[in-house]
Amino acid sequence: MVGSGMGTPGVFGQAQFRILWAAAVTSIVGDQLARVALSLLVFARTGSAAATAGTYALTTIPALVSGVLLSGLADRWPRRSVMVTADAVRAVLVAAMAIPDVPLGVLAGLLVLVQLAEAPFAAAQGAVLPDLLGGRYEAGQTVMLITHQTCLVGGFAGGGLLASWLGPNVALAVDASTFAVSGALLRVGIGRYPVEAVAAAVRLRVELAGWLVRVGRGAGLVARDRRLRMLMSLGWLATFTVVPEGLAVVFTTQAGLGTGWVGVLLAAEPAGAVAGAVLLRLVPRTIRLRMLGVLAVGTSLPLLGYATAPGVAVALALLVVSRLCSAYQVSAASTFVQALGFARAGLIAGQGIGVAAGGVIAQAAGSATIAIAIALAGVAGTALAIAAAAGWARLVPARIADALPAEP
């Protein structure tokens, strides 16, 4: 075995972990390729900013349902079977999406089904890790998180170039093959990891009831605790800052850029977020809490620069700065852990609504004002961020820090 202890070499010395990791890399990169390809495909066929942004929103909103109703499948059948089946289902669905001239309504329905299949896969993968790694679980989880963020950057950047070169339909076919490869790797490379059999209907009722209880308790906590209300407000500002993602294809087309730049613009956002998270970890927690409001404003404020119809270099810089500041979301999430279910549900819904609303506004305003639509999202986000930041500053975060739970 290579290495030992909690270090990364020791984790990769586990053969089954290497297989799990390789499968994850394959499917995550393929997912980002599909996001770019779908946006290009829908915009090419409709010329509609609203339809393009709405399609992008469908890559996030189904998680509200699947996370509650489908993730429990990982506790009903062997974990390997769940992952392989989910990959097989997604391979077939994405292959169907790759067929030329599929009606847009059918394409949207297939996309929703693909996203629904993500939840049981992710739950089964997460359940395998502690059994597989034992005392090295934390190191393995860290590797998987870093891998996910890295693949977002590489998948978007490479996916934009590949989709531009091959065309959206062929790019979707490539994505279908990544799921097939992932499923094959898991089928031959890891154990079954069986679970105790429990009646599916009973477990589903328990899971749904438990989720509703957690969300209800979270909502109650937020209603009673001003700290949590302020933190939730700061967290949900992502509703506005996600708008450039849904309009990336339309923006590059309006700017006269090649389609390969779509992936580059999308990759700038996770790259900035990762860099911001790393930098913010170097700052003492009390100072990070004081900075939440300022960083929240800094996340939306750069989007105002889109009002000048910037070129690609300036647009990239604006997105990177915005995402660098968005690292405050990590600190905010670690402090409202008591209401995490409620916060996550609101965040997912807000991001989907924000992307779709941005597309509708851009469509209503006319194709020549896509940059203005993004700038308007920045104006709204900045105004609300300033209000939330002022409220947070009055709570004296330095004193609050002592009463908040420890960070993970």
Contact indicator for 201, 74 with CB cutoff of 8 Å: no
- What would the two tokens of residue 117 be? 């299949």
The DSSP string of 200-240 is: HHHHHHHHHHHHHHHHHHHHHHHHH-HHHHHHHHHHTTHHH
Whether the Cβ atoms of residue 269 and residue 361 lie closer than 8 Å to each other: no
Residues 317, 318, 323, 324, Cα dihedral to 10°: 60
Nearest-Å Rg of the Cα atoms of the chain is 21
Rounded Cα distance between 70 and 80, Å, is 16
Placement of tokens 């500053």 in the chain: 393
What's the CA gap between 353 and 61, in Å, rounded?
8
Query: Residue 302 gets which letter from DSSP?
Result: G
Q: What pLDDT does 235 receive? A: 75
How far apart CA 201 and CA 179 sit, in angstroms, is: 29
Compute CA distances 156 → 78, 151, 263, 267, 300, whole Å.
32, 8, 5, 5, 22
**N-terminal to C-terminal alpha carbon distance within the chain:** 29
- Asked if 41 and 171 count as a contact pair (C-beta separation under 8 A), the reply is no
CB-count exposure of residue 177 (10 Å: 0-12, 13-18, 19+): middle
Cα 329 from chain centre: 13
Q: H helices of 326-369, where?
A: 328-335, 340-365
Backbone torsions φ then ψ of 42, nearest 5 degrees: -65, -40
Q: What is the DSSP string of 32-97?
A: HHHHHHHHHHHHHHH--HHHHHHHHHTTTTTHHHHHHHTGGGGGTS-HHHHHHHHHHHHHHHHHHH
Give me 211's structure tokens. Answer: 């989720």
Residue 296 CA: distances (Å) to CA of 62, 339, 340, 345, 385: 26, 20, 19, 20, 6
Tens-digit pLDDT string for the chain (408 aa): 333 344 455 778 888 999 999 998 998 888 888 888 898 899 989 988 888 888 888 887 776 666 656 656 656 788 899 899 999 999 999 999 999 989 989 998 998 888 888 878 888 888 888 888 877 877 787 788 788 888 888 888 888 888 888 889 999 999 999 999 999 999 998 887 776 544 444 454 545 555 555 555 656 565 666 676 777 777 778 888 989 988 888 888 888 887 788 888 988 888 888 888 888 878 887 788 888 889 999 999 999 999 888 888 999 999 999 999 988 877 666 555 444 454 565 566 667 778 888 888 877 766 557 888 889 999 999 998 998 888 878 775 545 544 444 454
Q: How far apart are CA 281 and CA 330, in angstroms?
A: 10
Residue 167: CB atoms within 10 Å:
17
Query: Which of 302, 290, 361 is closest to 332 using CA atoms?
Result: 290
Cβ(355)–Cβ(56) below 8 Å: yes
Go through 328-361 and write b for each residue having 16 or more CB atoms within 10 A of its CB, e for each that does not.
Answer: bbebbbbbbebbebbbbbbbbbbbbebbbbbbbb
* Number of other CB atoms surrounding residue 243 within 10 Å: 31
- DSSP conformation class of 403: G
Is the CA virtual torsion 368, 56, 246, 64 positive or negative? positive
Instruction: Report the sign of the C-alpha dihedral through residues 165, 166, 168, 171, in that order.
Output: negative
Quick one: angle between helices 285-300 and 226-235, nearest 10?
50
* 38-72 confidence digits (pLDDT tens): 988 999 899 888 888 888 888 877 766 666 566 56
What is the residue whose two structure tokens read 């750069």?
302
